């Protein structure tokens, strides 16, 4: 049974003939029912909501798109991930953790907020170099909220014909609006480019405008997370759409040491070398590279069994890492 407050809002909207609000409340009811595993009811309500009938053209924003592109299904525009990473698996700056905790609490206590006329924050922008945990943080947020993570597939979203990308974005937003979920846009600058850029076409500018409007339309039970390595490319209006903006910088020596400790705990292994020593050697690497370093050690260690000299393997990997790092630095110098 749908929550009483949603049924009251639905009735009020119907009496006032507020069709936009009817749609928003209906999407919230569908998301509630889907969260309770009432999938048959949720699917039926969603089918009615998006039915391309003449009486439902205002409620059904994508009816025209359905007729123009019947072969494209909303499910094909995203990759659904069942989140496994937890906050305890991540190394976050101390100022980030309480902000994320507040956002999660707002989602869990949405009824209290709404009783005061407020909605929880649901739009987060993650900024920082590649490999430093933006995708992992999005997954951990989804895991904490106990909802699926939908990762946007740009190869399916971006179309070759005029207006096609904007229409597919509309289909995507309609799809996620009836689900409690985290919607993740990696490399958000792909769609959110600065509209003042003279090198971009009018089509890209229309896509950006459409995207911004659709972000505004997202119900609060959908948490949208954008991630970018190039914040300078984002349209200025994009920044205003995200209530929370977080920087995820390159790891410090201390955070690398913590990550190495967590890695050993996760795999129940000891490298027999101080984490601080490894961190000193790997300073300048991102978390993704440090993870691969640890996995490389584990592969060699497992394949070397029953021999049990993991320290020698770690030292060997550190030497190899130094050589690769020096080659990269040399190539950069030559380019200059």
Last residue of a domain, one of 247, 270, 287: 247
Ramachandran bin of 272, using left for φ above 0, alpha for ψ from -120 to 50, beta for the remaining angles: left
Residues 155-197 have pLDDT tens digits of 888 876 667 888 888 889 989 998 999 999 999 988 877 665 5
Q: Are 329 and 289 in contact (CB under 8 A)?
A: no
In the chain, what is the straight-line distance between the N-terminal and C-terminal CA atoms, in Å? 66
- Tell me phi and psi for residue 273, to 5 degrees: -145, 135
Residues 75, 218: one domain? yes
Same structural domain, 240 and 261: no
pLDDT score of 329: 56
Instruction: Say whether both 101 and 211 belong to one domain.
Output: yes
Same domain? For 26 and 7 the reply is: yes
Kind plus residue range of the DSSP H or E element containing 170:
helix 164-177
Question: Which tokens hold the place of 100?
Answer: 């994320």
Q: Hey, what are 295's tokens? A: 């996995």
Written as one string, the DSSP assignment of 33-65 is HHHTT-HHHHHHHHHHHT---GGGTTT-TTHHH
Examine the domain organization and report whether 46 and 139 are in the same domain.
Answer: no
> How far is it, in rounded angstroms, from Cα 244 to Cα 102?
11
Q: How many degrees, rounded to 5, is the angle at CA 82 between CA 77 and CA 87?
A: 120
279 and 149 in one domain?
A: no
Say whether both 86 and 220 belong to one domain: yes
For residue 216, give every residue at least 6 positions away whose Cβ sits within 8 Å of its Cβ, in sequence order, or none.
241
Tell me what pLDDT residue 132 has.
Answer: 93
| Domain boundary, last residue among 12, 28, 60 | 60
Asked if 35 and 180 touch (Cβ cutoff 8 Å), the reply is yes
- Within this chain, do residues 264 and 158 fall inside the same structural domain, yes or no? no
Do 54 and 72 fall within a single domain? Answer: no
Same domain, 68 and 144: yes
Domain count for the chain: 3
Which of 247, 276, 293 marks a domain boundary?
Answer: 247
Instruction: Say whether both 48 and 88 belong to one domain.
Output: no
Q: Which residues contact 254 (CB under 8 A, 6 or more apart)?
A: 279
Range of the domain at 323: 253-335
Q: Report the chain's mean pLDDT, rounded to a whole number.
A: 83
Buried b (16+ CB within 10 A) or exposed e, 50-73: beeeeeeeebbbbbebeeebeebe
Q: Could you read off the pLDDT of 23-74 as tens digits, one per residue? A: 777 777 777 777 777 777 777 777 777 776 544 444 444 444 444 444 567 8
Residue 153: give its domain's CATH number: 3.40.50.300
Q: Are residues 33 and 13 in the same domain?
A: yes
Torsion sign over Cα 226, 184, 223, 132: negative
């Amino acid at each position: 049974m749908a929550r009483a407050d949603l049924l009251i809002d639905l009735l009020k909207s119907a009496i006032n003939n507020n069709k936009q609000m009817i749609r928003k409340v209906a999407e919230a009811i569908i998301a509630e029912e889907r969260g309770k595993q009432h999938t048959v009811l949720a699917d039926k309500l969603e089918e009615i909501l998006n039915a391309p009938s003449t009486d439902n053209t205002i409620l059904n924003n994508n009816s025209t798109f359905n007729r123009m592109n019947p072969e494209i299904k909303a499910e094909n525009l995203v990759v659904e991930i069942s989140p496994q990473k937890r906050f305890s698996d991540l190394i976050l700056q101390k100022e980030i953790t309480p902000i994320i905790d507040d956002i999660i609490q707002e989602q869990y206590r949405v009824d209290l907020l709404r009783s005061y006329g407020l909605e929880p924050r649901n739009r987060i922008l993650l900024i920082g170099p590649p490999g430093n945990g933006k995708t992992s943080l999005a997954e951990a947020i989804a895991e904490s909220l106990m909802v699926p993570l939908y990762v946007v597939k740009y190869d399916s979203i971006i179309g070759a014909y005029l207006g096609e990308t904007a229409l597919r974005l509309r289909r995507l937003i309609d799809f996620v609006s009836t689900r409690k979920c985290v919607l993740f846009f990696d490399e958000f600058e792909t769609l959110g480019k600065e509209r003042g850029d003279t090198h971009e076409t009018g089509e890209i500018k229309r896509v950006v405008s459409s995207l911004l409007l659709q972000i505004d339309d997202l119900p609060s039970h959908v948490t949208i997370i954008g991630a970018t390595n190039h914040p300078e490319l984002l349209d200025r209006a994009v920044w205003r759409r995200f209530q929370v903006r977080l920087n995820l910088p390159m790891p410090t020596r201390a955070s690398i040491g913590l990550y190495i400790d967590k890695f050993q705990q996760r795999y129940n292994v000891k490298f027999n070398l101080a984490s601080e020593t490894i961190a000193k050697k790997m300073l300048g690497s991102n978390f993704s590279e440090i993870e691969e370093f640890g996995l490389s050690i584990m592969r060699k260690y497992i394949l070397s069994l029953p021999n049990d000299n993991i320290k020698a393997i770690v030292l060997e990997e550190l030497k190899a890492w130094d050589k690769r790092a020096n080659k990269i630095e040399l190539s950069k110098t030559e380019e200059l």
